């Protein structure tokens, strides 16, 4: 088993490696077969937004020999308008949070999670999330994310970690699972 190190992103190089990993796994560049077998990410962040998010709450990364091989982005509510593709998620989420009496919950968003293809099926996904929880549970009660329903690999992996589906809805012709992992 490789020696994976879990940590918070600190350097410009680590942030650039996150963007590099993101860019080769973004949905618009992948075939349907690859998306079904390997999963995908839906959003491509700019360096500026990624850095500002990291400055506010450093992202969780998995590294091997100093190279980023996986990441889980920490996205505070303050950044809800900085990634246009995620604005509908935040607006929809607000209604679900209110309707399920979760308004008092201190939560943050997993802006995205991704593992390098060469390092998949080694427990890094769970490792990232367990490190995520250990690092952030003193400040937050839960983490929320949204998974494209076509991304069966990601949906199943999130449920295996402990996420529960809050709601399923359609946005721009795509079905999404709004998921929560409560820590309290």
Q: What is the pLDDT of residue 40?
A: 58
The token pair at 23 is 């860019």
71 is written with which tokens?
A: 């990441």
C-alpha distance from residue 13 to each of 29, 41, 51, 87 (Å): 24, 21, 11, 28
**Structural domains of the chain sorted by starting position, each given as residue range(s) with its CATH number in brackets:** 5-182 (3.40.630.30)
Q: What is the pLDDT, as a whole number, of residue 87?
A: 86
What pLDDT does 41 receive?
Answer: 61
pLDDT given for residue 171 in this prediction: 82
The sheet with strand 174-182 has its strands ordered as 5-8, 60-64, 67-75, 107-115, 142-148, 174-182, 164-171
Tokens found for residue 150: 């076509």
Question: Do residues 89 and 69 touch, judged by C-beta distance below 8 A?
Answer: no
The span from the CA of 33 to the CA of 42, in Å, is: 16
What does each of the 184 residues of the chain score in pLDDT, given as a tens digit? 459 999 999 999 999 999 988 877 666 565 566 656 565 566 677 899 999 999 999 999 999 999 999 999 999 999 999 988 788 888 989 998 888 888 899 999 998 888 998 898 899 999 999 999 999 999 999 999 998 888 888 899 999 999 999 999 988 788 989 999 999 8
Residue 172's nearest CA partner among 113, 87, 108, 96 is: 87
Q: Where in the chain does DSSP place strands (E)?
A: 5-8, 60-64, 67-75, 107-115, 142-148, 164-171, 174-182
């Amino acid at each position: 088993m490789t020696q994976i190190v879990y940590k918070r992103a600190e350097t410009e190089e680590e942030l650039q490696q996150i963007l590099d990993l993101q860019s080769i796994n973004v949905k618009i560049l992948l075939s349907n077969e690859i998306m079904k077998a390997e999963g995908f990410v839906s959003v491509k962040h700019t360096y500026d937004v990624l850095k500002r998010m990291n400055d506010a709450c450093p992202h969780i990364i998995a590294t091997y020999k100093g190279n980023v091989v996986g990441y889980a982005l920490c996205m505070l509510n303050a950044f809800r308008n900085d990634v246009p593709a995620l604005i509908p998620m935040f607006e929809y989420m607000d209604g679900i949070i209110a309707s399920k009496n979760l308004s008092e919950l201190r939560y943050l968003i997993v802006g995205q999670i991704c593992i390098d293809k060469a390092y998949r099926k080694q427990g890094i996904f769970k490792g990232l999330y367990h490190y995520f929880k250990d690092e952030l549970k003193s400040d937050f009660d839960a983490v929320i994310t949204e998974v494209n329903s076509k991304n069966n690999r990601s949906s199943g992996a999130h449920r295996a970690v402990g996420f529960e589906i809050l709601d399923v809805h359609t946005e721009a012709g795509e079905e999404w699972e709004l998921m929560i992992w409560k820590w309290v």
